[in-house]
Structure formats: C-alpha cells, structure tokens
Amino acid sequence: MGGMSAAPDGDDLVTLAVPADVAAAVKARVETGEYADPGEVLRNGLRLLSEEDDALGDPEVEKWLRAVVAPIAEATLADPSRSVPADQVRAHLAAKRSGRG
C-alpha cells in the first residue's frame, strides 16, 4: 500500500509511494511535455476528480442520467441488437479522423 510523509527539509512537499505503473504513467506525461512536473499531473488529476464529484452531486446531471441515459441503457440491455460493437465504432471514428468518413 502507498504511504505519505512530509519532506525532511520542512518544505510543503510530500512524498507519495505509488505503484510502479502509476509512477510510469505520471513520468510519461511529464516526458511528453504535456505537464511540467509530476506535481502538475497530480494537481490536474485531483481537479478532474473534484469536477467529477461536483457533477455527481449536480441535480441537473442526476436528472439527465435518470431521464436520458438510464432508459437508453435499459433498452440496450433488453435488446442488444440496438447497440453497435466497439470495433465498428472505433473503425468509424478512425475513418472520420483520416478524412475517409
């Protein structure tokens, strides 16, 4: 399990122990230049989690989920022929991106 400890030099830094795959994902985001440093990756992840939390408590989102999303999901479960296989969706999107669709 991961741990957390304050930096020994008294700065406001904290050291986190994370699984190797998480560390590699953070490092990859920094190496591509998408983020300046690991802290920026974590701040953005926390911001997204906060936005997700806000959306989950939003009455309008809840209303939309109940009124629109749930009936579509239930109808698709009842009649799977209504759905499109993921590989067909991917192929369609790839064709659109390449300008062929």
Dihedral pair phi/psi, residue 14, rounded to 5°: -130, 140
How far apart CA 23 and CA 12 sit, in angstroms, is 21
Instruction: Name the residue ranges covered by the structural domains of the chain.
Output: 1-56, 59-101
DSSP code of 86? H
- pLDDT, tens digit, for every residue of 18-37? 999 999 999 999 999 999 99
pTM above 0.75, yes or no: no
pLDDT per residue over 57-101, tens digit each? Answer: 888 888 998 999 999 999 999 998 888 889 999 999 999 998 865
CA atoms within 13 A on the CB side of 76: 9
Rounded Cα distance, 73 and 82, in Å? 10
